[in-house]
Amino acid sequence: MKRFLSLLAFALASLIRRKRRSLSLGFGLLLIAFLLSAALLLHDSIRAEYERLIPGMAELSVHQLRGGRPERIAGDALKELESHPGVRSITPRVWGYLYLPPLSANLTVMAKNGDPALPTILDGTLPDNEGELTIGDRIAHSLGLRPGDSIALPGAAGFQLFTVRGVFTSDSSLLAGDLALFTEKDARSLLGYDDELYTDLAIALSAPSEANAIAARIEKLLPGARIVERSAIERAYALSFGQRAGFLAALLLPILGSFLLIAWDRLSGSSDEERYEAGVLLISGWEFRDILTFRILESSALSGIAAALGISLAYLYLFIFDAPLLADLLLGWSSLHPTFKLTPMLHGSQLLMLVAILVLPFTAISILPAFRSANVDADALLRGGR
């Protein structure tokens, strides 16, 4: 143990002696650790976010299509299915988008179809009467609205005046940042739906595993309908973000590779000096094994510290400073942008994996130069043959 500690102290002292080399290699590794872990942590958080939320959604959504384009659907189009034991409820929904010129953005206009209690994510209440609305935090922020304020919205039949009853907090921004919730009558008049038709039907099932069977029944009842299964949306999301984060990681891996190449070059390029040092150590009684351990300790200490700092900085950047630039790169820019509040999914095992990805290759590439430098003829060195 004492021997190991002495070797460690010597390895650290050696890193300080070659301050410039240690700093440049350490900084390079820190930067790569930062970029790679930021991309992976961000992807994990977004994936966990929608995986947490998907169970809140109805298992099936049914839309009417005509000529491949979406049409609205009658509220009782699937009346026959209501008595089906696998179907818990069929909710006809009215929703659409409303372009708001002052924001250059689309709002999601939705008619309220339930009255859940939302004490922590809603400041105020849901709309109960006509002329009331509840909005997402980004709309409220962009227009400077608070519960009790009034707003005129450009509906299908001209401007309509509404009172803000509630504002969703920024904790729910990724879901409801652009949401404007109305009573059904108001939603219809804003969107210009002056008939009895609905945007779609949301079908909640008693057992999600029956989704395929019920979808097949719906296909027979409504041949022109488009049935979107919840699992399909989940899969589409997994693929879409997996691909984006994968592209980012794929861009970063060659950078890691070229860094390792440069590190290899630097480590083996200074072998003359290292060979001389190794020769002196051999003469003063060190064993070949000690020199190898010393080199491994030297490079793993450097890469370990750089990787740990890089990962910690990535965490601060993502979850304390809300990831400027990277979020735009991954999510795209918009005039109405969500408050970027993600929940970190960092676990010990993930941390170990990240450290291993960064430390192991760096330590591995330092072994061969160490072999070469330790394999010197001490006798020739004594005679001045460097």
Judged by CB under 8 A, the chain residues 337 through 356 that form the site for other proteins are: 337-338, 343-348, 351
- Torsions phi, psi of 324, nearest 5? -60, 155
Please count the residues of this chain forming the interface with other proteins, following the rule CB under 8 A: 94
Provide the minimum distance between the beta carbon of 101 and other proteins in the complex, in angstroms, as a whole number. Answer: 13
6 binds other proteins (CB under 8 A): no
Which CB atom, from 200 or from 290, has the smaller least distance to other proteins? 200
CA atoms of 293 and 370, how far apart (whole Å): 9
Burial class (CB in 10 A: 0-12, 13-18, 19+), 91: middle
Task: Between 85 and 114, name the residue whose CB sits nearer to other proteins.
Answer: 114
The DSSP string of 219-250 is HHH-TTEEEEEHHHHHHHHHHHHHHHHHHHHH
Q: Which of 198, 213, 209, 226 is nearest to 81 (CA)?
A: 213
Of 228 and 381, which CB lies nearer to other proteins in the complex structure? 228
Considering the complex, what minimum distance in angstroms separates the CB of residue 85 from other proteins?
Answer: 22
Query: Would you count residue 106 as binding other proteins (CB under 8 A)?
Result: yes
Which of these ranges, 114-122, 150-158, 187-195, 262-270, lies near other proteins under the rule CB under 8 A? Answer: 114-122
- Cβ-in-10-Å burial (0-12, 13-18, 19+) of 270 comes to middle
* Minimum distance from residue 383 beta carbon to other proteins (Å): 31
As measured in angstroms, the least distance from the Cβ of 271 to other proteins is: 23
Check binding of 357 to other proteins (CB under 8 A): no
Considering only 67, 119, 254, 384, the residue that binds other proteins (CB under 8 A) is 119
Query: Please, what is the end-to-end C-alpha distance for the chain in angstroms?
Result: 33
- Residues 34/36/38/41 CA torsion (nearest 10 deg): -140
Question: Is residue 321 involved in binding other proteins (CB under 8 A)?
Answer: no
* Closest distance of CB 147 from other proteins, Å: 17
Residues 255-294 that bind other proteins (CB under 8 A): none
* Location of structure tokens 């790679």: 36
Among 61, 183, 189, 366, binds other proteins (CB under 8 A): 61
Sign of dihedral through CA atoms 174, 178, 183, 189? negative
Instruction: Examine residue 125 and tell whether it contacts other proteins (CB under 8 A).
Output: no
Footprint on residues 231-260 left by other proteins (CB under 8 A): 232-233, 235-240, 242-243, 246
Q: Is 181 in the site for other proteins (CB under 8 A)?
A: yes
Asked if 308 is part of the footprint of other proteins (rule: CB under 8 A), the reply reads: yes
Kindly state the smallest distance separating residue 386's Cβ from other proteins, in Å.
26
| Site track 204-233 with other proteins (rule: CB under 8 A), x = hit | ----------------------x-x-x-xx
Pairing of strands 158-168, 132-135: parallel
221/121 Cα distance (integer angstroms): 39
Residue 355, token pair as written in the block: 């450290």
Return the bridge partners of 205, or none.
87
Under rule CB under 8 A, residue 150 binds other proteins: no
Query: Encoding tokens for residue 261?
Result: 């190449």
Choice from 43, 72, 93, 188 touching other proteins (CB under 8 A)? 93
- What is the distance between the alpha carbons of residues 337 and 334, in angstroms, rounded to a whole number? 5
Of 60-68, 72-80, 214-222, 277-285, which part binds other proteins (CB under 8 A)?
60-68
Residue 155 interacts with other proteins (CB under 8 A): yes or no: no
- A 10 A CB-CB count for 122 gives 20
